[in-house]
Amino acid sequence: MTKELSQIIAQIEPVDPAWLARAQERLDSLTKPPGSLGRLEELAARYVAIRQDPWPELQRKWVVVFAADHGVVAEGVSAFRQDVTFQMVYNFLHGGAGINVLARHAQARVEVVDIGVNHDFAEAPELISRKVAYGSRNMAREPAMTREEALRALLVGVERSEAAVAAGVDLIAAGDMGIGNTTPASALASVFSGRPVSAVTGRGTGIEDKVWQHKVAVINRAIILHRPDPSDPLGALAAVGGLEIAGIAGLILGCAAARRPLLLDGFIASAGALVAAALAPAATDYLIAAHRSVEPGHQTVLNCLKLNPLLHLNMRLGEGTGAALGMLLVEAGLKIYREMATFAEAGVSEKEG
């Protein structure tokens, strides 16, 4: 671990319960029965406590989408060709993908980061070029990344968090794009949870039974080959992870260090959160699980992170789509906190006793 990463991790502190209590006191003074707005109140209190500001604003929102390819696609684990990764990056840049639509709805900016796509992109001002490698290697035959590559990808994520904070961003979401990336996500879910590969591996882009069985076998082969150790999160990430997963882990660490809440999308983003939490357990205090994917491993990962998802919409697209919807709920909770009248202000009698 480099000095730079160690310094980022050292800055991450648990959210102060006193700030949560202070925020809840304000929420309990509003013209409603205590707790009657449920998780909207929870979101508001957590936002206040993370920012350590009794009257925080929420104006600028970013969805950071990390894109990378995966050598393990050569094993036939995906229903789509690897070319789809770079084609979808162009789609993001042209504003035509699902995340573009939902981010516009949430009034959030989409930042696309090429952290490891197996393609040389034409000059595109909107693309953040931070390519660590032209995709990961085939983890079924060799480590997906070197430790140095995994670390570089982590630090790209930290850098993007710092860029967002410098731009005055209040709320950040993590998204992903990478054909085959449910395979490394499933491998990491198994490694960090201790669950069997078959229990945390889904159908990704829609593979059939025979291909799913093959996918499970490929992941098991990779884990047997590399023996990733959950107590060495950087090593596990390098062995069976992915460049975009590493970027997301770094984004989480950077946001936690800067006291910015981060909305997790689905299975891939949450696999990045497993790595971040293994490096800095307090980082989970800064995470909000936007939704639960239909990928079977996602609930296992959320259980490991002790996160309760906001939405259950049978989504499995990735890209940050679920996180963009979660932004609307965080914003709604904060509006309640800031704009709803107190009993005293409204001249309404409080509950007796």
Print pLDDT tens along the chain (353 aa). 677 899 999 999 999 999 999 999 999 999 999 999 999 999 999 999 999 999 999 999 999 999 999 999 999 998 889 999 999 999 999 999 999 999 999 999 999 999 999 999 988 888 999 999 999 999 999 999 999 999 999 999 999 999 999 999 999 999 999 999 999 999 999 999 999 999 999 887 677 888 899 999 999 999 999 999 999 999 999 999 999 999 999 999 999 999 999 999 999 999 999 999 999 999 999 999 999 999 999 999 999 999 999 999 999 999 999 999 999 999 999 999 999 999 999 888 887 75
Tokens of 68: 């990378």
- Whole-structure pTM over 0.85, yes or no? yes
Class of 3-56+337-346 in CATH: mainly alpha
Residue 255: strand, helix, or coil? helix
Angle at which helices 243-257 and 233-240 cross, to 10°? 150
**Degrees to nearest 5, angle at CA 314 with 292 and 298:** 30
Please check whether residue 199 is in contact with residue 297, taking contact to mean a CB–CB distance below 8 angstroms. yes
Please check whether residue 134 is in contact with residue 118, taking contact to mean a CB–CB distance below 8 angstroms. yes
Residues in the chain: 353
Any idea which architecture 61-330 has in CATH? 3-Layer(aba) Sandwich (3.40)
Give whole-number Cα distances, 26 to 32, 86, 114, 255, 348, in Å.
12, 48, 43, 26, 16
Burial level of 352, CB count in 10 A (0-12/13-18/19+)?
Answer: exposed
User: How confident is the model at residue 123, as a pLDDT?
Assistant: 80
User: How confident is the model at residue 353, as a pLDDT?
Assistant: 59
Please check whether residue 183 is in contact with residue 336, taking contact to mean a CB–CB distance below 8 angstroms. no
Please check whether residue 233 is in contact with residue 271, taking contact to mean a CB–CB distance below 8 angstroms. no
Report the alpha-carbon distance of residue 173 to residue 248 in Å, rounded: 10
Please check whether residue 185 is in contact with residue 78, taking contact to mean a CB–CB distance below 8 angstroms. no
Give whole-number Cα distances, 190 to 79, 214, 219, 236, in Å.
22, 16, 9, 11
Residue 108: strand, helix, or coil? coil
Pairing label, strands 262-264, 171-177? parallel
Residue 111: strand, helix, or coil? strand
Phi, psi of 331 (to 5 degrees): -65, -40
User: How confident is the model at residue 151, as a pLDDT?
Assistant: 97
Look up 319 and say whether it is catalytic: yes
Tokens of 326: 């979660």
Beta bridge partners of 62: 109, 172
Give whole-number Cα distances, 44 to 28, 38, 289, in Å.
12, 10, 14
User: How confident is the model at residue 50, as a pLDDT?
Assistant: 98
Burial level of 198, CB count in 10 A (0-12/13-18/19+)?
Answer: middle
**In the chain, domain spans:** 3-56+337-346, 61-330
Helices (H), the chain: 3-10, 17-28, 38-51, 83-93, 98-106, 147-166, 182-193, 197-200, 209-226, 233-240, 243-257, 267-279, 296-305, 321-339, 343-346
Under DSSP, the state recorded for 112 is E
User: How confident is the model at residue 147, as a pLDDT?
Assistant: 97
| Among 162, 319, 345, 350, the one annotated catalytic | 319
